[in-house]
Amino acid sequence: MLTLSVRDDEAELTLELLAYPLSPAAQTDLIGLLRTEWTRTDYDWLEAMHGDYGEALAITSVLARRQGEPVSTATIHFARRHPEVAVLGGVLTHRDHRDRGLGGRVIEVALAQAKTAGCKVCLLGTARKPHNVYMHHGFAWQNGSVMRRSFSAADFEQEYFAAGQPAEIRPANWGDLPGLTLLVTQPLATVCLDYPRG
């Protein structure tokens, strides 16, 4: 765990980088904060926090604490092998601490983790709202409820999906999740082939 202390007008703010698997204390604090908004999601927090996906998928939560209490978080996911695409999720600020820029701070720290790892683009899923906090952090609407932020000026998707690249058929692993997310959010006409097994 890496801890950064930041002074703000109200109280000392601490930002912690929590790389998965998480300690039981970190799990308790993070789940407690997440449950202030969400009691059920399609994502199993405990499996991820215990490191079940860790062999292939790097997951880090940024946890902001004000006076020791968890108040805001964001989680970044990217493949350990070939980290090119990141997925941002679990972004939440406790309702009693909103409109103070905390969400923006944890988002930027999470994005910096992805960029440092070598990611070229970051995706996230969110509700379509006209004044979306993510737009203030370089995200734009990609497709449906998915937003995209590029870390480079180049058109990453053209290179990523270019014809003639080496390809293989193998069992999927959790490290494939960010790239698969990029694929299914492309505004393209795509074809999926089902190869017979023999």
155 in any annotated domain: yes
The pair of structure tokens assigned to 100 is 């103070």
Burial degree of 110 (CB within 10 A; 0-12, 13-18, 19+): buried
pLDDT higher than 60, residue 2: no
Peptide bond into 24 cis (omega under 30): no
- The predicted model gives 119-135 an average pLDDT of 88
Q: Where are the alpha helices (DSSP H) in 38-88?
A: 45-49
196 in any annotated domain: no
pLDDT higher than 80, residue 1: no
Mean pLDDT of the chain: 85
pLDDT value at residue 8: 56
pLDDT value at residue 47: 78
Its domain, for residue 61, covers 2-184
- Which whole-number Å values give the CA distances from 92 to 18, 20, 38, 46, 98, in the listed order? 15, 18, 10, 18, 9
* Banded model confidence at residue 5, pLDDT cuts 50, 70, 90: low
pLDDT value at residue 188: 66
164 in any annotated domain: yes
193 in any annotated domain: no
Burial degree of 62 (CB within 10 A; 0-12, 13-18, 19+): buried
pLDDT value at residue 190: 58
pLDDT value at residue 70: 96
SS3 45: helix
189 in any annotated domain: no
43 in any annotated domain: yes
Which comes out higher in pLDDT, residue 4 or 31?
A: 31
Q: Does residue 73 contact residue 34 with C-beta atoms inside 8 Å?
A: yes
- The predicted model gives 137-160 an average pLDDT of 86
SS3 7: strand
What is the CATH number for 31?
3.40.630.30
Q: Does residue 145 contact residue 127 with C-beta atoms inside 8 Å?
A: yes
194 in any annotated domain: no
73 in any annotated domain: yes
Tell me how far apart the alpha carbons of residues 148 and 87 are, in angstroms, rounded to a whole number. Answer: 9
State the pTM of this model.
0.84
- Number of domain units in the chain: 1
pLDDT digits (tens, 9 = 90+) for 47-101: 778 888 888 999 999 999 998 999 999 999 999 999 999 999 999 999 999 989 9
